[in-house]
């Protein structure tokens, strides 16, 4: 290969300025991605979604106000449109992977194939916290891309991004894998991204990131861009994570996430001295929920979690991130520091509920439907339990709860989620004093 490239350089130096590249040099064909892309590009699609948004203006809806001020009949709806990409991963069933933000809330999803056909797509499901969505199109004459071994990808591997930037149509860019396991990006959910310098621009979202064998290694999802343009830092969802989300959406209609059943805080230098461990990174267990996976595995308050599975734990957020990305009902090794010693224990993560009826926790919460915060809300520093719905006239309504409230503490104890609320209410406290964040302020509600 080196000899061919040297021969090519010598040949280029002697060509006239207007000459075209030859098909071969010294009897050897020039390197080209074209044969691989001929197999991949039929599997990459353009996605056009339309969302009808109702516009509410109480004054404009008042007939007297419109008549008095001579206002014409105003449109009460507007249409939002989104352009993106997708990749066919199952030709027989017509399954297309894309990003959640490409089809979020869409009333109509149209998929345009590489051969020019435009098909109406059925929304199968989505997971906002990993930004993965799945749609289905009629399975006729489709081509799917093969999924790569998720453990085989390495930093430095060549990759190619295929998508629909700016609605221009299929576009190909190339680069390398710049980093693996990227997290800590603002505004995104559970994070375990492939970073690449292959150009990813608006409209590429949901498109394919493939290796030189034409195998899918990731689903393009985001760029880092202080200026709004491509600066060579793009991110893709690893194929292993995307496949796991797809399988759960097909099986359950939602993604079930695991939980160790612990509350934690960041390990700082002062806490490290108190616990007798070397100063470094990790998450300190502050509370272990009764009969949780962590409790059954012997994890104790004061333990410092430094890794879970193959993922290093650097702080409280990275522990939560790792929990959310691991499959439930499968054993995983958790590495701890306890009294300066390194300990490994096997834990089977159990699915945590996304929502629960308040009456199942405490009669004083009857009529309220409570839910976990989205990962994006947690990354904004929010903690607690969200009130999703309150039935009119219910006990929860009489106690002052409203839909949209954020219950951040009970009886002065901060909540980290539904499991923490379940543990507090299981003790059947005589008093149930709720600290509630509502809009820009906060208030106390005594549930009776």
The catalytic residues are: 101, 131, 205
Q: What whole-number distance in Å separates Cα of residue 62 and Cα of residue 79?
A: 23
- Say whether 365 sits in a helix, a strand or coil: helix
The alpha helices in 72-170, defined as continuous H runs, are: 100-103
Give the distance between the most distant pair of CA atoms in the chain: 91
Asked if 352 contacts 259 with a C-beta cutoff of 8 angstroms, the reply is: yes
Cα(275)–Cα(283) distance, integer angstroms: 12
Angle 343-346-352 (CA atoms, 0-180°, nearest 5)? 120
**Distance (Å, whole) CA 18 – CA 16:** 6
Which segments within 330-405 are labelled E, that is strand?
331-338, 341-348, 350-351, 355-357, 368-371, 385-390
Helix (H) or strand (E) holding 420: helix 418-426
Q: Determine contact, residues 136/119, Cβ cutoff 8 Å.
A: no
First to last CA, the chain: 79
| Cα–Cα dist 238/243, whole Å | 9
Dist CA 156 CA 178 (whole Å): 6
Q: Which residues lie across from 84 on neighbouring strands?
A: 47
Which H or E element spans position 397? helix 395-398
Report phi then psi at 230, rounded to 5.
Answer: -70, 130
Residue 344 burial (C-beta neighbours within 10 Å; 0-12, 13-18, 19+): exposed
């Amino acid at each position: 290969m080196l000899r061919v490239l040297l021969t090519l350089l010598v040949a280029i130096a002697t060509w006239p300025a207007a000459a075209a590249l030859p098909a071969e040099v010294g009897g050897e064909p020039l390197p080209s991605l074209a044969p691989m892309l001929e197999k991949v590009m039929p599997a990459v699609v353009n996605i056009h979604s339309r969302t009808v948004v109702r516009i509410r203006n109480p004054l404009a809806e008042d007939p007297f106000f419109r008549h008095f001020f001579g206002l014409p009949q105003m449109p009460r709806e507007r249409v939002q449109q989104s352009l993106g990409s997708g990749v066919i991963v199952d030709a027989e069933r017509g399954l297309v992977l894309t990003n959640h933000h490409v089809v979020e809330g869409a009333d109509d999803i149209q998929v345009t194939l590489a051969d020019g056909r435009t098909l109406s797509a059925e929304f199968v499901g989505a997971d906002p916290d990993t930004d993965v969505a799945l749609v289905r199109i009629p399975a006729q004459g489709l081509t799917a891309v093969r999924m790569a071994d998720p453990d085989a990808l390495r930093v430095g591997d060549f990759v190619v991004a295929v998508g629909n930037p700016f609605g221009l149509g299929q576009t190909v860019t190339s680069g390398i894998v710049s980093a693996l396991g990227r997290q800590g990006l603002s505004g995104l959910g559970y994070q375990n991204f492939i970073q690449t310098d292959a150009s990813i621009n608006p409209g590429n979202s949901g498109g394919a990131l493939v290796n030189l064998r034409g195998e899918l290694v990731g689903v393009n999802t985001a760029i880092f861009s202080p200026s709004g343009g491509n600066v060579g830092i793009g991110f893709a969802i690893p194929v292993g994570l995307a496949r796991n989300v797809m399988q759960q959406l097909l099986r359950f209609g939602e993604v079930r996430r695991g939980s160790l059943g612990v509350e934690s805080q960041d390990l700082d230098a002062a806490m490290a001295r108190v616990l007798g461990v070397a100063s470094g990174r990790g998450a300190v267990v502050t509370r272990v929920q009764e009969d949780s996976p962590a409790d059954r595995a012997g994890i104790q308050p004061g333990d410092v979690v430094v890794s879970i599975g193959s993922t290093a734990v650097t702080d409280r957020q990275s522990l939560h991130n790792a929990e959310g990305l691991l499959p439930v009902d499968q054993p995983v090794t958790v590495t701890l520091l306890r009294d300066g010693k390194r300990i490994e224990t096997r834990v089977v993560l159990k699915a945590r509920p996304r929502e629960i009826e308040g009456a199942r926790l405490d009669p004083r919460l009857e009529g309220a439907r409570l839910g976990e915060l989205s990962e994006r809300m947690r990354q904004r520093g929010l903690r607690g339990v969200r009130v999703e719905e309150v039935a009119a006239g219910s006990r929860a309504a009489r106690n002052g709860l409203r839909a949209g409230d954020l219950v951040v503490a009970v009886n002065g104890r901060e909540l980290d989620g539904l499991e923490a609320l379940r543990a507090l209410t299981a003790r059947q406290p005589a008093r149930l004093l709720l600290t509630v964040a509502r809009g820009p302020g906060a208030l106390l509600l005594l549930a009776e």
